[in-house]
Amino acid sequence: MGKMSVDLCGITLDNPVIPASGTFGYGYEFAELYDINILGTFSFKGTTKDPRFGNPTPRIAECTAGMINAVGLQNPGVEKVISEELPKMRKVFHKKVMANVSGFSVEDYAYTCEKLDKCEEVGWLEVNVSCPNVHGGGMSFGTSPEAAAEVTKAVKKVTTKPVIIKLSPNVTDIVSIAKACEEAGADGISLINTLLGMRIDLKTKKPVIANKMGGFSGSAIFPVAVRMVYQVANAVNIPVVGMGGVSSAEDVIEMMLAGATAVEIGAANLVDPFASRDIINALPEVMEKYKINSLSEIIGGAK
């Protein structure tokens, strides 16, 4: 069998497959279906400083080869995540986990990351800069290199663990933003978050989602994700975590050839709760088919 392990910011993963934040909760519901320790790791539900109920319903719209969601970062807030969710998670998952963090100000990000950095089970902080900057007029921190760098610096100042900045694809120049994060001290970059999408109900002639627009994910966005991962991986010297429409072992290989060190699985988990497990189980056969002895050797191989 080929070697599936990879090194992500100094921590070894048994394989590169990581369920993406927002599609895997805190893991314990999936642990009732299979042993989730088969995973490389997983990124748990996006955590904010304060509790959030999320957006009004309906929050989900179906699309051809994908879905649109506008859940709105529903979570119990960092204090409860640490006191209630992580102890439950620890019982079923025995590896380092990725903590996904969102915020509405630089201070929010720093506060939440500092708290989660102290948790033993947290291996990496995945900082989602796709959130609205409430002090900057509502545009997300991830739409400007300066704002993304500011968040990166603030988080790095109060943490000791690897910081991976999760970027939005809803920009014209993702490379400049990734490079700004690297220069500000980021240990890794993850991309892409969802594209902005919308559906309209022909009967009511109104948007399907109460929020009008939401995050478009699923296999339809895979080529965009591969392109952006390739661009960023060729521009920075830190690891890239690739995601966006990944739904098979072949997709994982393609994403790694584009430059991803590890690969997150998002919407596929919502369609099939066994998706991540099945992708991991299929990897050895796909590696053999394409004569790949070690996954770490193919990272960025598509030149």
Strand partners, 126: 100, 164
Instruction: Let me know the angle formed at the C-alpha of 197 by 57 and 245, rounded to the nearest 5 degrees.
Output: 105
Cα dihedral sign, 212-215-220-226: positive
Block means of pLDDT (10 residues each) for the chain, length 303 residues?
93 98 95 98 96 87 90 90 96 98 94 98 96 68 94 98 96 96 98 93 95 92 98 98 98 98 96 97 97 98 91
> What residues contact 93, with CB distance under 8 A and at least 6 apart?
27, 28, 31, 36, 37, 39, 42, 121
Give the tens place of pLDDT for each residue, 109-158.
Answer: 999 999 999 999 999 999 999 876 667 666 689 999 999 999 999 999 99
The Cα–Cα gap between 227 and 225 comes to 5
- Decide if 191 contacts 219 (C-beta within 8 A): no
Residue pointed to by tokens 């992500």:
8
Entry pTM: 0.96
Give the tens place of pLDDT for each residue, 75-109.
Answer: 999 999 999 999 999 999 999 999 999 999 999 99
Does the bond joining 223 to the residue before it have cis omega, within 30 degrees of 0?
no
Active site members? 131
Residue ranges of domains in the chain, CATH in brackets? 6-297 (3.20.20.70)
The pLDDT of residue 133 is 67
